[in-house]
Structure 1
């Protein structure tokens, strides 16, 4: 439900990532940034939610503001955004078949996955992960 499976190569990309990142969402544009963010999350004891998305994907555009809102509400979680077209080889290594696809990671290991722009299910998974992880002191 609510996922894109084909690329619209001829689509206008002039809105490139404008409505996709914001709040506490970190845009991942290289494999090095991905590695740095995962290392930072592990060091800080944070769960990572990685949104593999595309600028041409309608459901991705619909869920993006909600994803940003979640990032502002849950500051104890690291929210990442990966554009599957910008990092196509990297995205392929994660076996992305539809966008958006959300991965939930702890210490770099996958602990959950959600395919599609299902806001209630995304909220439910984040709440479930928060409830399953012991609270750690916030760092200033």
Structure 2
């Protein structure tokens, strides 16, 4: 299971780096206001949110990003978000992020599950479980 614990000494400043993290139906969150808006949208539509706290310099984050995007296409009843821990440092700290990637599963704004690390098998298992927990008309 891949984890990144500390920020790399050199940070690439490539503006294309978000493209790989926010492909498919993954929404890139760059402000606290955008986060609040997406959570409100999810609550209104009855969707469960999967929030991926990651970093552009994190190897395991880069490896799991395309898979996360694929899952976002497959499970349209869920809302997939990605938060760059370096862009939203204070916000990420408030979620007690100790390693990246960290995935939070939120229902009505409350944490119902969590996964730390780029474990694709476990991530898909957890996403399938939350999707299966939704009423049939939501899927």
**Is 1:20 matched with 2:15?**
no
Q: Give the corresponding residue for 2:73.
A: 72
**Residue matched to 2:118:** 117
- With normalisation by structure 2, the TM-score equals 0.95
Checking the alignment, whether the CA contact within 8 Å between 1:98 and 1:115 is kept in structure 2 is yes
> How far off its partner does 1:18 sit?
2.3
Cα distance in 1 for partners of 2:124, 2:39 equals: 22
SS of 2:36 mapped into structure 1? helix
Return the offset for 1:17: 1.2
Offset at 1:133? 2.1
Contact 1:13 1:55 in 2 (8 A): no
Match of 1:6 in 2: 6
The answer (yes or no) to whether the contact 1:71–1:77 under 8 Å persists in 2 is yes
Aligned pairs for 1:78-117 (under 5 A) are 78-117=79-118
How many Å separate the matches in 1 of 2:51 and 2:136? 21
Other-structure match for 1:32: 33
The CA distance in 2 between the partners of 1:29 and 1:11, in whole Å, is 18
Q: Gapped runs of 5+ residues in structure 1?
A: none
Displacement of 1:135: 2.3
Distance in 2 between residues matched to 1:17 and 1:83, nearest whole Å: 9
TM-score, length-normalised on structure 1? 0.94
Structure 1 residue 78: Cα displacement: 0.3
Judge which range, 95-104 or 9-18, deviates more: 9-18
* SS of aligned partner of 2:41: helix
Contact between 1:42 and 1:108, CA under 8 Å: does it hold in 2?
yes
RMSD over aligned Cα atoms:
1.2
Cα deviation, residue 137, structure 1: 4.7
Q: CA deviation at 1:9?
A: 3.9
Matched-pair contact (CA < 8 Å) for 1:13–1:56 = no
